[in-house]
Amino acid sequence: MTSGALAGVKVIDLTHHIAGPYATKLLADFGADVLKVERPGGDPGRRLPPFFHDEPHRDRSLPFLYLNTNKRGITLNLKSDEGLAILMDLLADADVLVENFAPRVMPSLGLDAETLREHNPRLVVASVSNFGRTGPWRDYKATEIVEYALGGLMYIFGAYDREPLKHALHQAQFKAGTNLASATLMALYHQRLTGQGQQVDVSIQESIASALRDVTNNYTYVGAVRRRQPNHTGDLTRLRAVSDGYVLPNPGIGASLDWQILVDFLEAPELDDPRFENASARLENAEALGEILDQIFAIKQKQEIFYAAHQKRFIYGVIDSPAETIGNPQIQARDYYVPIEHDQLGEITFPGAPFLMNKSPWAVNSTAPALGEHNAEVLGALGYDAQHLAYLTASEVI
Amino acid sequence: MAGPLQGVRIVEMGQLIAIPSAMKWLADMGAEVIRLESVQRLESYRTDSLYHNDVEGEFWNRGANFYEQNRNKLGMTLDLSRDEGRAVLRDLLAVADVFAENFTPRVIKNFSLEYEDLRKIRPDIIMVSSTGYGFDGPWSNFGATGPATEGAAGLAYMTGYKDGGPVMSEIPYTDYTAGEHTVAAVMLALMHRLNTGQGQFIDVSQTQTCSATIPEALLDWTVNGRIRERIGNEDPAMSPHGCYPCAGDDRWIAIAIDSDEAWYALCRVMNRPDWAADERYSDVLLRIRYREELDKMLGFETRSHDNHELMAKLQAVGVAAGAVLDSEDLLFNEHLKQRQFYEIVEHHPDTGMPPLPYAGRPWKLSATPAGAPKAAPIMGQHNREILSGLLGKTEDEIEALKEDNIIGDSPLTPRGVRRPSLDEQVRQGRMQRYDVNYAEQVRDWFGI
């Protein structure tokens, strides 16, 4: 008999868009009881493209459907007294409240962490915001690209002589969401041991800035400022174009590489040259090496060189499109993609468990809620009758 | 009280980033992490990016990447390729809550360190394995790097300039994605153990953790049959949206116009009433249609501005804008300073290194904050403390282990990597520039 790791954990989820919902998805997919509380107009994440069959509809945004699995959903106007009263009722026996409003919003609603914990001392109040809940940039506006710029990842991302780049899609949001889940779980662990709730403050900017290898350290260690890389580089692990796509060569680990094995593997006698014979020499002659490597790789084939490399235990990688990654034999063998039946839309194939836990497995038991889907069920359990629900609906509280 | 995880003991057989970065964050929050390495196999993060680029002496105790990934851990050397080493590991596992490793399954199987083996030593142990592609399946024994899994997961394919091939950042990005998910996974397992008393096996596939963060593109394929192509810094729903040049050498600003109000505010700050009056730019769909000409016009105007000043002006009127911070900007950033994001770490006196700032964590916990940071261990620093204090080994036993190089405090075959001179690195384009008085600047800014 297995159950989710968070069986019995009750989460009130005020989050919207991506970062917060990804955190609560991680909690919900591992067993927490997550109640998603949306404004009556709905989570703006319901407008995130792409849509199911390109039909814009508040219940058909594909990222929304992914981000809100296993959650029940109600609507609540937190700017109304009745809405706030209902929220406080819901929080009375909750373990966690998660929110990703701008930092000034919760206090302006009278929902600052201190008030909330007076109401329920066990409550973990978990927040994620662009720049954290304190500091001079607290109220700065940000979107994904601004987080890349101010988190320090963008400056070292892209071609040397072109504008810096960001990743495709919404990596900063997902990164912060993952960190929010981790930090919330740490606070929850402490709550289970001591009964004490607390406040969790996650910053999206810091989520980027704390995951940069050898960036600020290059400055503190030698005074150097890193930059994007030139087109020709002898970095042996640089992405290279092959005849039918792209590969990531990697002949193994740093200083201990036996160069001759690499020369033989690439069938490239021109690399058998004292300029390249050890790691320090290769760094000195990086540009010449890079040009030769570009030519060598241009005539290779992606799958062929990838498998041949792994025969030699070189740790090569491939660049796969979404279609290719879904068809990848390893990913298929692990059944990563899972078909999930949606009562309106039929079967949809979703990315599945980010990690496998053998005793408390990841599972999707319900699809994302339609807007207000559980209003009657949840408010009914709080003691509101049909007549009162009608009044709340008419007065746009729900 | 320092951190919510006091009382949790983790034995880490990690390398590079994926497991070490995750265990560092758990160590920050109070877990006791015992990190294993060996004197036979010198980890590359101990040999590269050295303090002062100095390969003399005990350079393996001066590697930036090692310090960055291993803060707050205890360090122990152990040769696991020999029975005596594995016997010590078994003793450690008997008193461990978590065993964390990121080697290929082949290595773990050779060492008899699979979950079923560990359970016999400690029935409620949590084992976390972090691999590129997962612990089972046809690619399970394929070694992987961050860039390789970013490629396999589908993220790299979509990232890059509109007119070019895939582009990657200059860090092994998905190592961190895996590490971040690993922290969550270990916490889930600790919660499950609190509830049930059960340990378990966690199998983290770096590729899967990355794919989990790109559902927009993966679902567009599974549902709509569409492959998303590279669009550089464009955003399908915003315009202007991009990275624009500013005054100075390699200075940039990112600007995202997400509403009509933001557009008119941008026009005011750039002092271009003619843009605001132009009907062709009056709503977002039109601005998306004229994206290319808008980007050109805006990029021409931003050229004469300092990127930090322009950011402040735009933010003051509610426009999402950010100077593209280089590493010096990031380190000497007033906001991060007030947040106490960088933490000053004292190094072991044998290293000759001064106290230096390191990036902290992306979270703050009000009641159980992280404790004062301790530097990553120099090689073998805690051998004696662990063997004698924790495992009760005698002096003779410890000496015998040392004699056989099962433990030790320096690598048997040290090979440092000297990087080219800074002038050469700048000429090659590896570095943007360098400062000669950096040490003083760091001391002054952080008050060290």
Helix (H), strand (E) at residue B369 = none
Are A82 and A201 within one domain?
yes
**Inter-chain contact B151–A131, Cβ cutoff 8 Å?**
no
Residue A327 pLDDT > 90: yes
Residue A174 pLDDT > 60: yes
Number of helical H runs and strand E runs in chain B: 21, 13
Q: Which of residues 226-255 of B touch A (CB under 8 A)?
A: 226-228, 230-233, 235-238, 241-245, 250, 252-254
User: CATH fold of B241-331, please?
Assistant: formyl-coa transferase, domain 3 (3.30.1540)
Nearest by CB to B320, which of A143, A190, A193?
A: A143
Choosing among B169, B338, B417, which should be mutated to test the A contact, i.e. which has the most A CBs within 10 A?
A: B169
pLDDT at A282: 87
Other C-beta atoms lying within 10 Å of the C-beta of residue A398: 25
Instruction: Nearest chain B residue to A133 by CA: give it.
Output: B339
Residue A123 pLDDT > 70: yes
In angstroms, the CA B74 to CA B386 distance is 9
Average pLDDT, chain B: 96
* CATH 3.40.50.10540 location in chain B: 9-213+341-417
**Inter-chain contact B191–A22, Cβ cutoff 8 Å?**
no
Residue A190 pLDDT > 50: yes
Are A16 and A94 within one domain?
yes
Inter-residue contact B36 to B397 (CB < 8 Å): no
- pLDDT bracket for residue A279 (50, 70, 90): confident
* CATH 3.30.1540.10 location in chain B: 241-331
Inter-residue contact B132 to B205 (CB < 8 Å): yes
- pLDDT bracket for residue B418 (50, 70, 90): confident
Are A298 and A188 within one domain?
no
Are A71 and A193 within one domain?
yes
Q: Which of residues 156-195 of A touch B (CB under 8 A)?
A: 156-160, 162-171, 174-176, 178-183, 185-190, 192-193
Task: Take residue A299 and report the two structure tokens written for it.
Answer: 């005539």
Work out the widest C-alpha separation in chain B, in whole angstroms.
86
Higher pLDDT, B202 or B48: B202
Instruction: Nearest chain B residue to A307 by CA: give it.
Output: B142
A213 lies within 8 A of chain B by CB: yes
B182 lies within 8 A of chain A by CB: yes
Write out the residue range of the structural domain in which residue A307 sits: 240-318
Nearest to B98 by CA among B68, B131, B126: B126
Nearest by CB to B151, which of A201, A256, A320?
A: A320
Nearest by CB to A154, which of B65, B230, B324?
A: B324
Residue A140 lies in a domain: yes
B351 lies within 8 A of chain A by CB: no
Residue A278 lies in a domain: yes
A344 lies within 8 A of chain B by CB: no
Residue A145 lies in a domain: yes
In angstroms, the CA A352 to CA B190 distance is 22
A359 lies within 8 A of chain B by CB: yes
Chain B residue numbers touching A220 (CB-CB < 8 A): 64, 331, 356-357, 438, 442
In angstroms, the CA A369 to CA A48 distance is 15
Are A87 and A205 within one domain?
yes
Interval B340-360: pLDDT, tens: 999 999 999 999 999 999 999
Nearest to B26 by CA among B77, B75, B70, B87: B70
Q: B104 has which bridge partners?
A: none
Residue A1 pLDDT > 50: no
Chain A residue numbers touching B318 (CB-CB < 8 A): 141
Chain B residue numbers touching A228 (CB-CB < 8 A): 170
Q: Which CATH architecture has domain B9-213+341-417?
A: 3-Layer(aba) Sandwich (3.40)
Residue type, B261: E
pLDDT at A232: 67
B343 lies within 8 A of chain A by CB: no
**Inter-chain contact A216–B48, Cβ cutoff 8 Å?**
no
Domain final position from A291, A318, A345: A318
Task: Take residue B304 and report the two structure tokens written for it.
Answer: 């004469």
Choosing among A334, A345, A367, which should be mutated to test the B contact, i.e. which has the most B CBs within 10 A?
A: A334
**Inter-chain contact B189–A187, Cβ cutoff 8 Å?**
no
Instruction: Nearest chain B residue to A193 by CA: give it.
Output: B194
DSSP state string for A360-374: S-----SPPPPTTTT
Residue A323 lies in a domain: no
Mean pLDDT throughout B389-405? Answer: 97
pLDDT above 90 coverage of chain B, percent: 95
pLDDT at A65: 98
User: What is the SS3 assignment for A394?
Assistant: helix
B192 lies within 8 A of chain A by CB: yes
Residue B136 pLDDT > 90: yes
B37 lies within 8 A of chain A by CB: no
Inter-residue contact B56 to B106 (CB < 8 Å): no
- If one counts the domains in chain A, the total is 2
Residue A256 pLDDT > 70: no
Are A287 and A146 within one domain?
no
How far off is chain A from B223, nearest CA to CA, in Å? 7
Residue B43 pLDDT > 80: yes
pLDDT at A253: 56
A195 φψ region: left (φ > 0), alpha (ψ -120 to 50), beta (else)? left
Q: How many residues does chain A have?
A: 398
Residue A254 pLDDT > 60: no
B166 lies within 8 A of chain A by CB: yes
CATH code of the domain containing A259: 3.30.1540
Chain A residue numbers touching B232 (CB-CB < 8 A): 165
Interval A125-170: pLDDT, tens: 999 999 999 999 999 999 999 999 999 999 999 999 999 999 999 9
Are A83 and A162 within one domain?
yes
In angstroms, the CA B349 to CA A207 distance is 31
Interval A71-113: pLDDT, tens: 999 999 999 999 999 999 999 999 999 999 999 999 999 999 8
Residue type, B375: A
Helix (H), strand (E) at residue A341 = strand A337-342
**Inter-chain contact A211–B367, Cβ cutoff 8 Å?**
no
Q: B75 has which bridge partners?
A: B35
Are A189 and A247 within one domain?
no
Residue A319 pLDDT > 80: yes
Are A287 and A344 within one domain?
no
Q: What is the ipTM of this complex?
A: 0.98
Are A266 and A205 within one domain?
no
Mean pLDDT throughout A221-225? Answer: 97
Nearest by CB to B419, which of A183, A283, A287?
A: A283
- pLDDT bracket for residue A242 (50, 70, 90): very high
Residue B228: HSE in the Cβ half-sphere, 13 Å Cα cutoff = 28
Nearest by CB to B148, which of A141, A142, A250?
A: A250
pLDDT at A2: 55
Residue B272 pLDDT > 50: yes
